Amino acid sequence: MTKRLNAFVASANSSETQFPLNNLPYGVFLQGDLKRCGVAIGDFVLDVAALEKQGLIDLGQPLLQSAAWNPVMDAGSDIWGQLRARLITLLSDGSADQNAVEAALYPLTDVQLLMPFTVSEFTDFYAGKHHATNVGTMFRGAENALPPNWLHIPIGYNGRASSVVVSGTDIHRPSGQLKGPDDALPRFAPSKRFDIELEMGAIVGRPSSDRVSVDQADDMIFGYVILNDWSARDIQAWEYQPLGPFQSKATATTISPWIVTKAALEPFRCETPTRDFELLAHLKDTGPMLYGIDLGVTIAPKGSDATEVIRTNYKEMYYSAAQQLAHHTSSGCPMRVGDLLGSGTISGATKDSRGSFLELSWGGKEPFTLDSGETRSFIEDYDTLTLQGFAKGSDFKIGFGDCTGTILPAK
């Protein structure tokens, strides 16, 4: 089992930190007026743009001077490996450059975290079997829960890149066209069934112009974020036939501030589940391509403490991000650096592992109770929702930072 690496930054050596030297996640931070690329280490963010300017990081060309990690992605996987190796050297216990590196550390509590990369396009999948079964059972009955195609392809739809925001961004409750089953005509009103979807996001770091294999797809992935695909269930119910969700998913999608690289997650790879049908050749598993990542969601009403309402794990997915990406290219669809692929809602088999309020309250029929005594079926105004994820080693854990958002009233 992989062990914790020792950093000269004391807070990075605690078993409690989500940013040990093994992690080194990539973000963008605002310090003063400057937006800069940074790497989280213990309680600090390392100003890697400054270290590059000083020559302590040299990637052959300046790649860390913009307020996004896309240039690093674009430079290719050799550079990904070089940068990670150099960061480990710089931050390790006994680093020859400790003084210079220390001068480029800012306490995380002093900086604001911004979008870590420019999202080219956003695709969202529907690739968790428990989630699809739960939703299908609610809408079509247990006998027809999974659509006929579901066990053969990772069902996905294109989302809206312009609506992806970083953790901490307040979200206004959306309005939209709604029509209940007993209403004669639709009306335009604030959503009453606003929801979360607990997901992981995979970031495409290498482009493709043609169909790619599952192995090639895995190589193209730069890293992962936690992702909350805010969803207005009542807008969705009225709009989604026949061409899928549109405005119900376009208000916002929140991602964690830190991109955890594929390299950091390597020790946590795990297999996808046993298949009901053998997958066709272009989608077949070629190795462990999911990751064991514990996921949780808390909800904090205004003025109340947070209650954890969901606990699940990324390994509950039926399809890996590599399989999703391979499918995404199957028609020849070009992929670009910065494309973001949402896994789909990650639900487990038990009630408390359901990754959305729609499932947790079973369509609103079974409200759940918070520690404060309040109940919820869907999100109320001023609720703060926080998603977290941790891959756990023997004596360390790898985190993504909070993926959080507070819901404000409809405008």
Judged by beta carbon, residue 241 or residue 274, the one nearer a second copy is: 241
CB of 169 to a second copy, least distance (A): 12
Q: Which of residues 317-336 bind a second copy (CB under 8 A)?
A: 327-328, 330-336
When asked if residue 175 is in the footprint of a second copy (CB under 8 A), the reply is: yes
Structure tokens at 210: 């043609």
Query: Which range in 212-220, 241-249, 292-300, 388-396 contacts a second copy by CB under 8 A?
Result: 241-249
From CA 13, how far away is CA 5, in angstroms rounded? 8
131 is known as an active-site residue: yes
Q: Which of 131, 282, 327, 328 is catalytic?
A: 131
Q: What is the dihedral of CA 265, 271, 272, 278, to 10 degrees?
A: 140
3-state secondary structure of 98: helix
Task: Give the dihedral sign, CA 374/378/379/384.
Answer: positive
Judged by beta carbon, residue 190 or residue 401, the one nearer a second copy is: 190
CB of 331 to a second copy, least distance (A): 4
Query: Is 163 exposed, middle or buried (CB count within 10 Å of its CB: 0-12, 13-18, 19+)?
Result: middle
Q: Which of residues 334-353 bind a second copy (CB under 8 A)?
A: 334-336, 339
3-state secondary structure of 56: coil
CB of 304 to a second copy, least distance (A): 26
Classify residue 91 by its DSSP letter: H
Q: Which of residues 46-105 bind a second copy (CB under 8 A)?
A: none
Judged by beta carbon, residue 17 or residue 324, the one nearer a second copy is: 324
Structure tokens at 164: 């992806």
What number of chain residues touch a second copy (CB under 8 A)? 60
Can you spell out the DSSP letters for 100-135? HHHTTEEEGGGSEEE-SS--S-EEEE--BHHHHHHH
From CA 316, how far away is CA 212, in angstroms rounded? 24
When asked if residue 299 is in the footprint of a second copy (CB under 8 A), the reply is: no
Query: Which range in 9-17, 62-70, 238-246, 298-306 contacts a second copy by CB under 8 A?
Result: 238-246
Closest CA to 383 of 188, 201, 228: 228
**Which residue type occupies 173?**
R
CB of 130 to a second copy, least distance (A): 16
Judged by beta carbon, residue 313 or residue 347, the one nearer a second copy is: 347
How does strand 253-255 pair with strand 221-229? Answer: antiparallel
When asked if residue 239 is in the footprint of a second copy (CB under 8 A), the reply is: yes
Query: Which range in 54-62, 79-87, 237-245, 386-394 contacts a second copy by CB under 8 A?
Result: 237-245
Can you spell out the DSSP letters for 158-223? E--GGGEEETT--EEPPEEEE--TT-SS-EEEE-SSEE--EEEEEEE-S-BSS---HHHHHHHEEE
CA distances from 91 to 32, 61, 105, 317, 381 (A): 24, 22, 11, 34, 43
Which of residues 210, 274, 303, 365 is near a second copy by CB under 8 A?
A: 210
Which of residues 32, 61, 274, 277 is near a second copy by CB under 8 A?
A: 277
From CA 254, how far away is CA 403, in angstroms rounded? 7
CB of 326 to a second copy, least distance (A): 11
Which of residues 61, 99, 109, 162 is near a second copy by CB under 8 A?
A: 162
Judged by beta carbon, residue 52 or residue 383, the one nearer a second copy is: 383
Which of residues 38, 42, 223, 245 is near a second copy by CB under 8 A?
A: 245
3-state secondary structure of 276: coil
Judged by beta carbon, residue 37 or residue 235, the one nearer a second copy is: 235
From CA 376, how far away is CA 385, in angstroms rounded? 12
CB of 238 to a second copy, least distance (A): 6
Judged by beta carbon, residue 103 or residue 408, the one nearer a second copy is: 408
Catalytic annotation, residues? 131
Binding residues (CB under 8 A) for a second copy: these are 120-121, 126, 147-149, 152-153, 155-163, 172, 174-177, 179, 185-188, 210-211, 232, 235, 238-248, 250-252, 277, 280-282, 327-328, 330-336, 339, 411
